[in-house]
Chain A
Amino acid sequence: EVQLVETGGSLVQPGKSLKLTCATSGFTFSNAWMHWVRQSPEKQLEWVAQIKAKSNNYATYYAESVKGRFTISRDDSKSSVYLQMNSLKEEDTAIYYCTSGSYDYWGQGVMVTVSS
């Protein structure tokens, strides 16, 4: 059974940092491209970042709204993908989902609230 479990969400003040983890199992993670997608309280979905596999040199891509502040990374030995979020803004408040490269597997999401 495929599982993706996100952790690390919390309430954080603007300007602070947070790191999300997505632990996966049940599929060949090392070959998979992975994404982070977020959903605002208004239900708008926004693609955040993508990381490709080792065969693609772990190439990364970011939405303009997070470029320079967020970093996606992965640890194939732990079948996990991460999202380091720095200089958080109130507009980063959302449910953050990790999902596989073809969007066929999703985690249940983790809530990040940025507020003073």
Chain B
Amino acid sequence: DIRMTQTPASLSASLGESVTITCRASQDIGKSLLWFQQKTGKPPKILIYTASNLVSGISPRFSGSGSGTQFSLKISSLKPEDTANYYCCQGYSLYTFGAGTKLELK
């Protein structure tokens, strides 16, 4: 099974700042990596597919990068509505989610 190690588990940042969340795969997954946002009481929402492709309708403040085993999600110019949990997910061999990152705004 492919394991996804996501860091940090939580972070706090100020409005307008940028943050980066990283995910490391236990083996090479190419670019088969998804990023999701989940707000309290809601299902996950897909943000990015194939590591760096922004889903239609998602703010360009979100960007993804990486390939192989190292991936990152960057959120620029933080807004209050970015408060959420973020998850990576590999789709190279079935699917495995990371443990999630809780983003809070100061």
Q: Residues of A with Cβ closer than 8 Å to B?
A: 35, 37, 43-47, 50, 61, 63-64, 97, 99, 102-104, 106-109
Contact = CB atoms under 8 A, between A and B. Distances in A.
Given A102-B49, A103-B36, A104-B55, A47 B43 contact: no
Given A97-B43, A97-B44, 11 more contacts: A45-B89, A46-B97, A47-B89, A47-B95, A47-B96, A50-B94, A63-B94, A99-B43, A102-B46, A103-B46, A104-B46
A47 B34 contact: no
Contacts of A109: 43
Q: How large is the interface on B (under 10, 10 to 19, 20 to 34, 35 or more residues)?
A: 20 to 34
Q: Chain B interface secondary structure, helix, strand, loop or mixed?
A: strand
Contacts of B38: 45
B44 A45 contact: yes
Contact of B97 (A44, A104, A107): A44
B43 A106 contact: yes
